[in-house]
Amino acid sequence: MIKSEKEYKAILERIEELLADSENIENSESKGFVELNLLSDLVADYEESHFPISPPTLSEAIKLRMHERGLTQKALSEFLGVSTSRISEYLNGKSEPTLKIAREISRKLDIEASIVLGV
């Protein structure tokens, strides 16, 4: 377990050193491979507790899906069966979708229900 930022930084430096040798990445029998995996797990645990990543908001998730699928607000409104002004309200955080529309957003845009419902 990493106990301080100083330890964290030292371990990151060691990981960089290990990554410089492809043998440590490709050969699961090498000593460096084992060390790299152990140190990576320690860093992941430290970062999870000290630099948590919060789940995206509904607005952020919708914007991402729109970008990924090349959808405009107009196209999204047609896809979901709601007005463009309602889509704008969702994107600006001014209103939340009804349960029926939330279900459509989750299903059609493949966004986790917990994000759509804000739970």
CB 96 within 8 Å of CB 87: no
Number of domains in the chain: 2
C-alpha neighbours within 13 Å on the C-beta side of residue 30: 13
46 and 62 co-located in one domain:
no
Q: What is the pLDDT of residues 102-118, one digit of tens each?
A: 999 999 999 999 999 88
63 and 102 co-located in one domain:
yes
The whole-model pTM stands at 0.64
63 and 44 co-located in one domain:
no
96 and 63 co-located in one domain:
yes
CB 53 within 8 Å of CB 99: no
- How many Cβ atoms are within 10 Å of 6's Cβ, its own excluded? 9
Please report the pLDDT score of residue 12 as a whole number: 97
Q: Where in the sequence is the domain holding 105, given as residue range(s)?
A: 58-117
CB 64 within 8 Å of CB 56: yes
Where b means 16+ CB within 10 Å and e means fewer, 70-103 reads ebebeebbebbebeeebbebbbeeeeebeeebbe
- pLDDT band of residue 119 (cuts 50, 70, 90) is confident
66 and 98 co-located in one domain:
yes
Please report the pLDDT score of residue 117 as a whole number: 86
More confident residue, 78 or 117: 78
Rounded to the nearest integer, the mean pLDDT of the chain is 94
91 and 113 co-located in one domain:
yes
CATH of residue 93's domain is: 1.10.260.40
74 and 97 co-located in one domain:
yes
58 pLDDT higher than 90: yes
